[in-house]
Structure 1
Amino acid sequence: MEKELILMYARQSRYTPADWHSTMHSHYFTEVLLVTEGVGELQLTDRAIPLRPGTGVVVNPYVLHTEHSSKKSPLAYLVFGVDRMRLADLQAAELDVVSFRDDHHTFRPLLDFMVQEYTDRATDSAIVLNHMVTAVMTVIARDRWQMLPADSAQVPRDAQMLKDYLDAHFKEHLTLADLAFILHLDKFHLIKIFRESFGDTPMNYVLTRRLAESMTLLRTTDYAIGQIAEIAGFESQSYFNQVFKAKINVSPSLYRRLAHASAHALQET
């Protein structure tokens, strides 16, 4: 990495039932969190990562995720956003999320300082914070992962416009021809710029968003499987079952039972 990284924010988050909304979301920048108290899970589209004190997680740009907390042992963590980078393994393979441990309390005082500096907004705090976040990410990544440039400013306007449209309309029936007509762009151009910007095809991204929505509904509602398939935008329950099992490795009904069991175990913790 030749460029200095840019800190987007640094803050402390704590679970409170009134204002904690566990909905799947993503960021155009990398997000890093370090658990300080409590028990929970980081939910991805295909798995959940246990969160305990000392657990650190780096979430790469555009990776769908959310956090769940135990009510008996509420989750608290330090979190910051960092622009201009993403993590890859040492062979430069794509990653969605990586975990690390802070068992020797290396990162906690650094993140505490970053949160305080970001909150105080003292003279030249941006310079201090950008230097600090560059150093922290270098320590996290060294000998294990590779920091690659991912400057959000380089995302083409057409690619961002397409992503914004897909995020707003993924539950609807969509084809590449529809998207090309609506956005007044060639469909092959759409495929090319979307893959170059976000590492995926537009239609696969739609499928990922539909799966994420269905997983949220399976965890949080009592809707029938067929209703969930329809709400999330799948053309039929049988197709939903087929895709869900292929991508998530379990059926929707089994996922619901496992998610409920996991949520119950969190509340008992």
Structure 2
Amino acid sequence: MTDSSKNRLFQHATLASLLGGLYEGSTTFKELLTHGDLGIGTLDSLDGELVILDGVAYQIRANGEAYRMKETDTTPYAMVTFFEADFGFDVDQLTTKEALEARIAPLTQGPNLFYTVKMTGNFRIVHTRTVQKQSRPFLPLMEISDDQRTYTLEYITGTIVGFWSPTYLQGVYVPGYHLHFIDDLRKVGGHVFDYEILEGRIEISQQTGIEIELPQNTDYLKSNLENPEIADQIESIEKDG
């Protein structure tokens, strides 16, 4: 890794491809991890949530449990970066998701850039959800979005990782915050839709560039990903719980 690789966002595939039901793994973790050591995404056949932390990829299955991925395992969609914090601060009292986001916002250079987020600490509560493995023929994401399991993790130490993406690129990226959690024991986690932190360290990096790698499999090349309702669908899928 060169210095120019740090804090450059790499994404394999697009949000639009997931919305369209393209869940077949199209890159290996061996390849993906050459582009970053921190990230999020999903797994082949939409088999759970992906957390990449310290260069290791973990699958959070529908039961909420974490498993380490092999180099030969694949993903249809992931975002990664070589993370190096540009700024950070400590939290030493109970802070809600909304309060923490309000504290972060004025420290950034505005909502038109990409940011990586890493929150490490003791959480009073983390609300998570996970998707269940799908079978062919794959249905569009909207048709299976209600078939998710939610979990409430209380008084747990771990790390929330993810990205802030600007609204004007929705369809390629999830607009706003997109966060996943894994605990310190690497046993449980999931997609985060709410949290409260008791104490910990918040680190943010501004991404200096973005790269999108498009799948080359038949499903992606032959699918019609035009979707005039994409904004409403993203909002529906990403809403709390």
TM-score (norm 1): 0.25
**Greater relative CO (CA pairs within 8 A, separation 6+):** 2
The structure with more helix, counted as a fraction of residues: 1
The structure with more strand, counted as a fraction of residues: 2
Greater Rg, structure 1 or structure 2?
Answer: 1
